[in-house]
Amino acid sequence: MSLSASPLSDGPLLRTREVDVVRDGRYLLRGISLTVEPGEHWALLGANGAGKSTLLALLGAVSHPTRGEVDVLGRRLGRVDIRDLRAYLGHVNPRHPLRSPLTVREVVLTGLGNSIEPDLQKSPTAAEQARADQVMDTLGIAAMAAATWPTLSQGERGRTLIARALMPRPRLLLLDEPATGLDLTAREQLLDSLDLLRHQHPELASVLVTHHLEELPESTTHALLLRDGECVAAGKVDDVITTELISDCFAHPIRITRHEGRWTARAAARRAGPWPEPQGRAGA
């Protein structure tokens, strides 16, 4: 499926306006505003429980806000069949619930219908098979096309799921902690693959959730920091990923450095007195 044939808007791919998510009387998100344009690559950063996955679920048309507006690919949640929107989103979940011993190729091809198991009533066309070869090559997994899912390492599974998400040619890729459980080599292979993917497809946008700065690809362009469901800062990555703002976001003094495009974080000695409250909401 190609978005070039779809009636979806050519404007921002994602936009939220003063979004609240409330569950059992508790705010999971409060007043979140965000705009993602084509070609932008956003990082959602924050401690565990900050609201990152809750926000990603809104952006992926998986859930609805309690208050506020969410536009996904130009369509307002609540006014459109979200199943139609999901067909144009590449959502990568490292907890993919596959239990069958499918090959890497078969898993990638399930992305055509956004299904877990292959569609036994429909065989992939030659063009679709070629598309699978292309995305597997981009992600560096072409040589293991015949390997079965149970034999794959966590890193190989992650790159397979990204290839799967790319099959319908989405305009937006959503990555929920894609480096979870990876060793150093697998993490670097994944990040290199993401950088290559973004270089080869400059029109693609992405949103990546993590709480580790070391897991951010060099090609990250923007960031949004969440603390207790509220936005600490949002905007261009060099303006947001700073020692001051990251320390505020994680409620702990953290020194940030960037070398050859990649970030590292190191805890600093904590100053005396209580840590300040977040400095209000920052627009995107």
Q: Compute the average pLDDT of residues 196-204.
A: 90
* pLDDT at residue 144 greater than cutoff 90: yes
Q: Compute the average pLDDT of residues 18-35.
A: 94
* pLDDT at residue 198 greater than cutoff 50: yes
54 found inside a domain: yes
Given 136, 169, 202, the domain boundary residue is: 169
CA distances from 223 to 4, 45, 274, 284 (A): 28, 7, 26, 9
Report the pLDDT value the prediction gives residue 279, as an integer from 0 to 100: 52
The CATH number of whichever domain residue 6 belongs to comes to 3.40.50.300
Q: Among 4-18, 79-93, 155-169, which is the least confidently predicted range?
A: 4-18
Specify the pTM.
Answer: 0.84
Cα atoms in the 13 Å half-sphere on the side-chain side of 222: 18
Confidence band for 175, pLDDT divided at 50, 70 and 90: very high
Q: Compute the average pLDDT of residues 248-264.
A: 93
> Which tokens go with 234?
């949002």
Name the 3-class secondary structure at 226: strand
CA distances from 283 to 101, 228, 235, 276, 280 (A): 45, 17, 8, 20, 10
Residues 190 and 142 in one domain: no
281 found inside a domain: no
Contact present, 107 and 98 (Cβ < 8 Å): yes
* pLDDT at residue 262 greater than cutoff 90: yes
CA distances from 84 to 103, 131, 269 (A): 28, 22, 50
DSSP assignment letter at 237 = H
